[in-house]
Chain A
Amino acid sequence: MQFRLEKRPQPSQLMLYLAPVLAVLLTMVVGALLFSALGYDGIGAVLEIFTKPLTNPLKWQDLGVKAAPLIIIAVGLSIAYRANVWNIGAEGQYVAGALGGTAVVLLTMKMQGPWILPTMIIAGMLAGMALAAIPAFLKTRFDVNEILTTLMLNYAIVQLLYFLLRTSWKDPMAFGFPRTALFTASQSLPYLWPGTILHWGVPIAGIVAIIAWFVMGRSVFGFQVRVVGSAPNAARYGGFSANRTVWLVMLVSGALAGLAGVLEAAGPFRQLVPAFPTGYGFTAIIVAFLGRLNPFGCVIAGLVLAISYVGGEVAQTTLGLPSAATGIFQGMLLFFLLAGDVFVRYRLRPVVARAQGEAA
Chain B
Amino acid sequence: MDTSPVPRLELRGITKRFPGVLANDNVGFAVMPGEIHALLGENGAGKSTLVKMIYGIMQPDAGEILWNGQPVTVANPKAARRLGIGMVFQHFSLFEAMTVLENIALGLDAKVPQRELEAKIRAVMQQYGLLLDPHRTVSTLSVGERQRIEIVRALLLNPSLLIMDEPTSVLTPQEVEQLFVVLRQLAKEGCSILYISHKLHEIKALCDTATILRGGKLVDTCDPKVETSRSMAEKMIGAGLKDIVKGKDRSFGAARFTVRELSVKSDSQFGTSLDRIGFEVRAGEILGIAGVAGNGQNELLLALDGEIPVGADAILMDGKPIGARNTSERRRLGLCAVPEERHGHAAVPDFTLADNSVLTARDRLGMVAGGLINSGKAKTYTGDVISAFSVKAQGHGSAANSLSGGNLQKYIMGREILQNPGVLVVSQPTWGVDAGAAAAIHQAIVDLAAQGTAVVVISQDLDELLSLCDTLAVINGGRLSQKKVVGEVSIEEIGLLMGGVHGTAEETHITAGAAHAVPA
Contacts and interface: CB of A to CB of B under 8 A. Distances in A.
B359 A355 contact: no
A220 B368 contact: yes
Contact of A358 (B77, B331, B337): B77
Contact of A219 (B56, B91, B344, B372): B372
Contact of A359 (B92, B337, B351): B92
Contacts of B360: 237-239
Contact of B358 (A223, A231, A354, A355): A223
Contact count band on A: 20 to 34
Nearest to B375: A218
Contact of B331 (A219, A226, A230, A239): A239
6 contacts: A218-B372, A223-B355, A227-B351, A230-B349, A231-B348, A356-B78
B93 interface: yes
Contact of B93 (A236, A354, A359): A359
Given A230-B351, A231-B349, A360-B57, A236 B76 contact: no
A357 interface: yes
Interface in A213-271: 218-221, 223, 226-227, 230-231, 233-234, 236-239, 241
Interface of B: 19-20, 56-57, 75-78, 87, 89-93, 106-109, 150, 305-307, 326-328, 331, 337, 339, 341, 344-351, 355, 358-360, 362-363, 368, 371-373, 375
Nearest to B402: A10
Contacts of B327: 236-239
B78 A227 contact: no
Given A9-B19, A237-B346, A353 B76 contact: yes
A230 B373 CA distance: 18
A355 B78 contact: yes
A355 B56 contact: yes
A220 B371 contact: yes
B48 to A, nearest CB: 9
Nearest to B399: A10
A219 B93 contact: no
A262 B356 CA distance: 39
A231 B344 contact: yes
Interface in A184-211: none
B91 to A, nearest CB: 6
B153 to A, nearest CB: 9
Q: For B87, B341, B351, B375, which residue has the most chain A Cβ atoms within 10 angstroms?
A: B351
A205 to B, nearest CB: 24
A170 to B, nearest CB: 45
Contact of B371 (A221, A227, A230, A353): A221
A150 B440 CA distance: 51
A215 to B, nearest CB: 9
Q: For A234, A354, A358, which residue has the most chain B Cβ atoms within 10 angstroms?
A: A234
A237 B371 contact: no
Interface in A330-360: 353-360
Contacts of B328: 239
Given A218-B373, A220-B368, A357-B109, A237 B76 contact: no
Contacts of B56: 355
Contacts of A219: 371-373
A234 B349 CA distance: 9
A230 B307 contact: no
Contacts of B373: 218-220, 223
Contacts of B372: 218-220
A13 B486 CA distance: 51
Contacts of A355: 56-57, 76-78
B109 A230 contact: no
A255 B350 CA distance: 29
A234 B348 contact: yes
A353 B372 CA distance: 54
Given A353-B76, A356-B109, A230 B348 contact: yes
A317 B20 CA distance: 56
Contacts of A239: 306, 326-328, 331, 360, 363
A134 to B, nearest CB: 26
A219 B328 CA distance: 17
Given A219-B372, A220-B372, A238 B359 contact: yes
Contacts of B341: 233
A26 to B, nearest CB: 27
A357 B307 contact: no
Given A219-B373, A220-B362, A234-B359, A356 B344 contact: no
Contacts of A358: 57, 76-77, 93
B353 to A, nearest CB: 13
A234 B412 CA distance: 12
Contact of A237 (B107, B305, B349, B362): B305
Contacts of A238: 327, 359-360
Contacts of B359: 227, 234, 237-238
Contact of A233 (B75, B344, B363): B344
B53 to A, nearest CB: 13
B78 A360 contact: no
A354 B92 contact: no
Q: Which 5 residue pairs are nearest across A and B when measured between Cβ atoms?
A: A239-B328, A359-B93, A238-B359, A239-B327, A359-B89
A353 B75 contact: yes
Given A239-B331, A356-B78, A357-B108, A230 B350 contact: yes
A355 B109 CA distance: 11
Contacts of B75: 353
Contacts of A220: 362, 368, 371-373
Contacts of A234: 344-348, 359
